[in-house]
Structure 1
């Protein structure tokens, strides 16, 4: 193995430079990247690198940041909700009126900006059963989703792990999220399937994607364990996962959401796109 990089040993593509990489992207995956993973870099810097690589979107931006990415010909495939809270969400009826007010303000702005998806969260259980949380989320989300449909927006609830990163979070399994999708019965409500989080909670990633793909509107990546680079330092084989996503007919976005550990954080990003471009 002397002289071989980890990527070449795994049979993963290598590119001499960003322009060469961009020209060789296959087009089967719409690539995005999450802004928060690059807090040490300006949004402008991230946009410049994204354009060089062939990434089409920057995920998880606030409304004042949308014009920055659009200036570079990019979109925001998954917008933040404003204000942002993972712990206080739609499973709390006391928050429904305020959440509706917030989304009533945000949804038209997103539509005017040409965006298509906005994130949402279940919130923490705080003693609620799965059944109670499901019913509360459905009641709170129903008017929001109806408004989203009117504007051509899809609301996506993120699946997060409650074992390591987000203790007590309610939407922590795919079957629970799928049940909420069924209860709402709208193509304008989907799941944000975070591969990192669901590997921790459930494993069986490819079979789960095949079974529940009709409920998934967006994907996030991340290495397990640690949420770092997605290459051979972690337990998931992302090329096979991406092949499974493509095989479902998915036409949305896959966003890189790992925390780079290298000094050159954008080198890690380039490699992750090469790995996922199947």
Structure 2
């Protein structure tokens, strides 16, 4: 039995002091949005409580599916690196980046440099950087954790992601080999690889390409973030439908139009051809300020 915790959309705050040069870009719109809206909904003490609750549950691994920062600034990347060190060792935590982690040109490289230990595949040399990190493969027990990046700098008022041909080709190979090795395959990705799951300006470019890989190679589970919602979709795979699971923002305060902070716990058991995966959703209770189990189901 393997227990995998899943969180996403950390949006670690507060915002650091930014220089005029850093704000002379798309960041200015995000900076204004932070002070008008986001900072009112995202609170560090909620994130701290969530991490404490996960640690008390003692999962075997933690998957983080993107948007760890807000504006893609160097100071934010460094702050997240410190936060990750407190959450767990790189062998225990696997990270994929989101659109906020590639907010402006250059941000993606900063993220890959600062968080490389958490995005390094078992067979990747320590010198790997940037797009060469993805897709990565980490094998823990009988589970294959496969990290895919959709992080891509976009113009103002856009939050789309890209799943390109290079990653599709490599992902197909990884999935087939992991199946031959008898592993339960978990794909971690930020943008939902599902048509209609979010608005067009936030969508993933390459959804058809991703779907083709799933149909040809298969997988047992896809974890994503981006929408801040507790959704469950299913996509056709090689040997049946593949569950596609999202989770609310890890830092979301209660009382908004989206679910409050939460995390998923997935319990994986069985073996090839007879896999079992149980999803438990834990969310922040506004009355008790504690995280409670509010839903569970077999996927």
State TM-score, norm by structure 2.
0.41
Which is helix-richer, 1 or 2?
Answer: 1
Which is strand-richer, 1 or 2?
Answer: 2
